[in-house]
Amino acid sequence: MSTQPLLEAQDLGYSYRNRGPALADVSFAIDAGVNLGIVGESGAGKTTLLRLMLGLARPSTGRILSNGITLDPGNRTALREYRRFTQAVFQDPYSSLDPRQNVGRIVAEPLRSLRLETGREAIAARVQRALDAVGLSPDATERYPHEFSGGQRQRIAIARAIVPNPRILLADEPVSALDVSTRVRIIDLLAELGHKHAGSPDPLTVVLVSHDLSAVAALCERMLVLERGRIVEQGDTGTVIAHPDHPYTRRLLDSVPRLPRR
């Protein structure tokens, strides 16, 4: 296995127009097979960081390296290549799925837009594999998003994200719109998708952006804590949770009283 990180953020900074920095001096690396949790309160800079990691905005300072190459949001060809490698799942499974398209078309979308597959049968086979991986039945392809529950819709969104065989899955608060028992099942699914490929040359690595520390503890081997745009702590999840160094991390932990300790 290569020792080069899958993704590396070097001294990232970002400022919105006429505002102080939303991110400053943010550096971290994502290693293959090591899920990363990004936590912080509302306004800490999580969404801004995610936008930079998706190539939707250009950092004001610093850079993001993907397999050693600087991510350039202005380079459409490079961005398409990057998209095949980094896919995302968002918070709201109601607004993220087009209600007029059946699930077969929704899940196939990245294969078409990234020009990875053109043959109908090849597309259908990959869609079926993705649906199977997320625990949806094969006949889901003919149905529409409104026929599914919130948890099932998030499974559809996850199937769409994994269909191009990405190396990184960026999950932005993927369970906060769901009820508690469904949350656990979706976190379990994300853990399973990562671990199934653990040890293979191309494991899927999950980056979970969340204010929910118990989800991070359940899924992520490493975590970093953002406060007002800066990383105040990062390391092994078990260590950070057992021995938080920073007062902000302790406050965050205190607000989650039933967190399982490792």
Contact set with ligand ADP (CB under 6 A): 16, 19, 22, 40, 42-48
Report the residue number, 46 or 183, with the smaller CB distance to ligand ADP.
46
Specify the amino acid at residue 246: H
Report the residue number, 152 or 210, with the smaller CB distance to ligand ADP.
210
Report the residue number, 43 or 138, with the smaller CB distance to ligand ADP.
43
3-state helix/strand/coil string of the chain: CCCCCCEEEEEEEEECCCCCEEEEEEEEEECCCCCEEEECCCCCCHHHHHHHHCCCCCCCEEEEEECCEECCCCCHHHHHHHHHHEEEECCCCCCCCCCCCCHHHHHHHHHHHCCCCCCHHHHHHHHHHHHHHCCCCHHHHHCCHHHCCHHHHHHHHHHHHHCCCCCEEEEECCCCCCCHHHHHHHHHHHHHHHHHCCCCCCCCEEEEEECCHHHHHHHCCEEEEEECCEEEEEEEHHHHHHCCCCHHHHHHHHCCCCCCCC
Residue 243 CB, shortest distance to ligand ADP, in Å, is 24
Report the residue number, 12 or 131, with the smaller CB distance to ligand ADP.
12
Residue 211 CB, shortest distance to ligand ADP, in Å, is 8
Strand partners, 9: 28, 64
Report the residue number, 39 or 161, with the smaller CB distance to ligand ADP.
39
Closest CA to 52 of 76, 70, 40: 70
Residue 88 CB, shortest distance to ligand ADP, in Å, is 14
Report the residue number, 113 or 176, with the smaller CB distance to ligand ADP.
176
Q: How far apart are CA 220 and CA 117, in angstroms?
A: 32
Strand partners, 69: 66
Residue 48 CB, shortest distance to ligand ADP, in Å, is 3
Residue 60 CB, shortest distance to ligand ADP, in Å, is 12
Residue 50 CB, shortest distance to ligand ADP, in Å, is 8
Residue 110 CB, shortest distance to ligand ADP, in Å, is 24
Report the residue number, 96 or 102, with the smaller CB distance to ligand ADP.
96
